[in-house]
Amino acid sequence: MSDDFFPVPGDWASSALMDRAARDADYARSIDASHDYWLERAQRLDWITPPTKSDESSFAEADFGIQWFADGVLNVSANCIDRHLAKRGDQVAILWEPDSPDEAPRRYTYAQAHEEVCRFANVLKSVGAKKGDRITIYMPMIPEAAFALLACARIGAVHSVVFGGFSPEALAGRIVDCDSTLVITADEGRRAGKTVPLKANVDAALKHCPGVKHVVVVQATGDAVTMAEGRDLWLHEAAATVEADCPPEPMNAEDPLFILYTSGSTGKPKGVLHTSGGYLLWAALTHELCFDYRPGDIYWCAADIGWVTGHSYIVYGPLANGATTLMYEGVPNWPTPARMWEVVDRHQVQTLFTAPTALRALMKEGDAHVKATRRTSLRLLGTVGEPINPEAWRWYHGVVGEGRCPIIDTWWQTETGGAMIAPMPGATDLKPGSATLPMPGVVPQIVDTEGKVLEGAIEGNLVIARSWPGQMRTVYGDHDRFFQTYFTTYPGKYTTGDGARRDADGYYWITGRVDDVINVSGHRMGTAEVESALVLHESVAEAAVVGFPHDIKGQGIYAYVTLNAGIEPDDDLRQLLVKWVRTEIGPIATPDVIQFAPGLPKTRSGKIMRRILRKIAEGEVSAQALGDTSTLADPSVVDNLVANRHG
Ligand code: 6R9
């Protein structure tokens, strides 16, 4: 916790979209006159049929459901492209910075993006894709990834983007779960000078996905890949043979727009489903309020399109607002730790939105890399993905932004569609490490473990008391799981899974997950997923995975592994298991530590006591830290775990 306080700079208060008084009045109205407020806000979108209904959601079991603007009709792709053509057809919509600084950037105006998306959409139609079909997208960070999303939206198909760093196994699971019949990929991706064999990964995945009829392949690197006759087609070849225009499909506001898989505390990843009207409004509105976008600005969200941040703040929010959105193919520290700042200078970026893990990694390399660049174009700096430690906040503010740029720390989740608690640069005084105050219509509460609402300055579990337009609508294919996961812990409220503290000024400080989800370099992971991967290995009898504090990643992965009888633990096996998890899930799930454990601490009913495993992983092994171990079936396993601790 830090006591620093950064008031809104005078020039921001007078020039921004909203100052403090405007924000307070706007928030009050969003709560007190919610129906009128949201119908007015919805007018920022282009509707084929404007809605007359707003929020019709209920968190209660009897009439459970989330529904917004249910009689409205629109098309998301038309909102992101077509409606800008008259006014800013020649303005750059997508500005692409390649992995290698020696390669030339690419630029697409709104007019060019329109043709790219229309042709892409017509190619999808030519292989039979239609409204309601699920299409899996497995792409590198190239403009065609954005075009693929928008092409799906244009024809009313539901996209499911799978992060390009996931393994063929993880990809296959996600394709099968939502019954995709079509996959969009590229020959290869590039990251930090290395190639990622995307098409080969798709080929491997499709051995387990009999439902997939076609694969549309974008030529990115031009290296040779295998194309399956009758199944696979090159985008550039097919696009040349179709019409340059594709009329947008009219969609009900509640028609699905996309599925995005995310990790929870139990079971396999959930297909978070977002719909068209409410999601787009939320992405666009929060993009405008948080980043105070102004025409002509170059806006850069350095996320990957495989995560929700890429969906909402590289593609949908900024394009709905007619912005120039910068898409970066590479990683923050390649070829040197100055790369991000060089990109800022090269493209004269006004707004940069990135993750604390990237900042911590760059901060470690020293200030000289930053100071070697000018960064005079920067006006605003954003962060997302995990709690930002005050030290990284101050470095971002003082060194990167030279004290001039507000830090917009946005707290939200895949489930929320867009920012929920975040500052507005002209209205909100900042405190390093606090995401500050709720967005319009958002009613956060802090509850104790019994669900009692706590008032005033207090710490507890963060819940949201009423629906907002960007809320997820269901878990794809499992509506009951949606209700059970988010609305039963504290009945009548949306459970975020995060802990939070509210201070005397009403500011929120997110303290991190209170469930078995860990956050590794801003990537969200269920400990259960890593455990399932480990126990799939023939040598492993049992595994328990916990997070532990990590300087750069925020949290690291600590795995306790019990081997099958007769298997000898050694370093080779340890390496093998690390590799195994990378193959099963992907490099983001690489365990930092594997500790072989002859037994795990279990209660008499067989439940693993993770509290104890977390303490040991954190290095807190005093009797006081470990707490009461007398309820364990075999308390002596703890001594063994402590004695053989790693690190
Ligand atoms: C957008 C995104 C969601 C979880 C969330 C929380 C953590 C995200 C944060 C933050 C503190 C912030 N989180 N932003 N914690 N401050 N500004 O990251 O979505 O991948 O679903 O992760 O990330 O724990 O519950 P997602």
ipTM value, please give it. Answer: 0.99
Nearest CA to ligand 1 atom 26: 413
At residue 2, the pLDDT reads 55
Predicted confidence (pLDDT) at residue 35 exceeds the cutoff of 90: yes
Cα 456 to Cα 306: distance, rounded to the nearest angstrom: 38
Separation in Å, CA 176 to CA 206, 216, 436, 442: 10, 18, 40, 35
**Residue with more model confidence, 309 or 608:** 309
- Please tell me whether residue 557 adopts helix, strand or coil conformation: strand
At residue 647, the pLDDT reads 64
- Please tell me whether residue 519 adopts helix, strand or coil conformation: strand
Nearest CA to ligand 1 atom 16: 387
Helix or strand (DSSP H, E) at 536: none
At residue 106, the pLDDT reads 98
The sheet with strand 474-475 has its strands ordered as: 232-234, 214-218, 182-186, 134-138, 158-161, 256-262, 270-275, 474-475
Cα 401 to Cα 379: distance, rounded to the nearest angstrom: 8
Percentage of the chain beyond pLDDT 70 is: 99
Answer yes or no: are the C-beta atoms of 245 and 118 closer than 8 Å: yes
At residue 605, the pLDDT reads 73
Q: Is 269 in the pocket of ligand 1 (CB under 6 A)?
A: no
At residue 153, the pLDDT reads 99
Q: Is 262 in the pocket of ligand 1 (CB under 6 A)?
A: yes
Backbone angles phi, psi at 414, to 5 degrees: -50, -40
Contact partners, residue 111, CB within 8 Å, separation at least 6: 85, 89, 90
Nearest CA to ligand 1 atom 6: 386
- What's the first-to-final CA gap in the chain, in angstroms? 27
Q: Which of 524, 529, 553 to mutate to test the pocket of ligand 1 (most atoms within 8 A of CB)?
A: 524
Cα 616 to Cα 610: distance, rounded to the nearest angstrom: 10
Q: Confirm whether residue 413 is marked as ligand binding.
A: yes
- Please give the distance, rounded to the nearest whole angstrom, from the Cα atom of residue 176 to the centre of ligand 1: 27
Q: Is 531 in the pocket of ligand 1 (CB under 6 A)?
A: no
Q: Is 304 in the pocket of ligand 1 (CB under 6 A)?
A: no
Question: What's the average model confidence in pLDDT over 214-218?
Answer: 98
Question: What's the average model confidence in pLDDT over 10-27?
Answer: 95
Q: Confirm whether residue 524 is marked as ligand binding.
A: yes
Question: What's the average model confidence in pLDDT over 230-240?
Answer: 98
Q: Is 524 in the pocket of ligand 1 (CB under 6 A)?
A: yes
Nearest CA to ligand 1 atom 7: 386
Predicted confidence (pLDDT) at residue 1 exceeds the cutoff of 80: no
Q: Confirm whether residue 460 is marked as ligand binding.
A: no
Q: Is 497 in the pocket of ligand 1 (CB under 6 A)?
A: yes
Q: What is the pTM of this model?
A: 0.94
Cα 58 to Cα 56: distance, rounded to the nearest angstrom: 7
Q: List pLDDT tens digits, range 482-500.
A: 999 999 999 999 999 999 9
Q: Which of 353, 384, 588 to mutate to test the pocket of ligand 1 (most atoms within 8 A of CB)?
A: 384
Nearest CA to ligand 1 atom 10: 386
Q: List pLDDT tens digits, range 46-105.
A: 999 999 999 999 999 999 999 999 999 999 999 999 999 999 999 999 999 999 999 999
Helix or strand (DSSP H, E) at 513: strand 508-513
At residue 607, the pLDDT reads 77
Nearest to 414 by CA among 277, 264, 285: 264
- List beta partners, residue 300: 326, 352
- Please give the distance, rounded to the nearest whole angstrom, from the Cα atom of residue 332 to the centre of ligand 1: 20
Q: Is 416 in the pocket of ligand 1 (CB under 6 A)?
A: no
Question: What's the average model confidence in pLDDT over 361-373?
Answer: 96
Q: Which of 510, 515, 516 to mutate to test the pocket of ligand 1 (most atoms within 8 A of CB)?
A: 510
Please give the full DSSP string across 232-269, using - where no structure is assigned.
EEEHHHHHTTS-S--PPPPEETTSEEEEEEE--SSSSP
Predicted confidence (pLDDT) at residue 3 exceeds the cutoff of 90: no
At residue 39, the pLDDT reads 98
Count of CA atoms in the C-beta half-sphere (13 A) of 503: 17
pLDDT bin (cut points 50, 70, 90) of residue 551 is very high
Q: Is 411 in the pocket of ligand 1 (CB under 6 A)?
A: yes
Q: List pLDDT tens digits, range 406-453.
A: 999 999 999 999 999 999 999 999 999 999 999 999 999 999 999 999
Cα 516 to Cα 429: distance, rounded to the nearest angstrom: 33
Mean pLDDT of all residues in the chain?
A: 96
The token pair that represents 541 in the structure block: 């009898």
Q: List pLDDT tens digits, range 632-647.
A: 888 889 999 999 988 6
Nearest CA to ligand 1 atom 14: 385
Cα 83 to Cα 113: distance, rounded to the nearest angstrom: 12
Separation in Å, CA 64 to CA 38, 445, 479: 21, 20, 10
Predicted confidence (pLDDT) at residue 178 exceeds the cutoff of 90: yes
Predicted confidence (pLDDT) at residue 332 exceeds the cutoff of 80: yes
Answer yes or no: are the C-beta atoms of 184 and 120 closer than 8 Å: no
SS3 string, 372-415, reads CCCCCCCCEEEEECCCCCHHHHHHHHHHHCCCCCCEEEEECCHH
Q: List pLDDT tens digits, range 119-153.
A: 999 999 999 999 999 999 999 999 999 999 999 99
- List beta partners, residue 377: none
Backbone angles phi, psi at 171, to 5 degrees: -60, -45
Q: List pLDDT tens digits, range 382-405.
A: 999 999 999 999 999 999 999 999
The token pair that represents 264 in the structure block: 């929870």
Helix or strand (DSSP H, E) at 194: strand 194-196
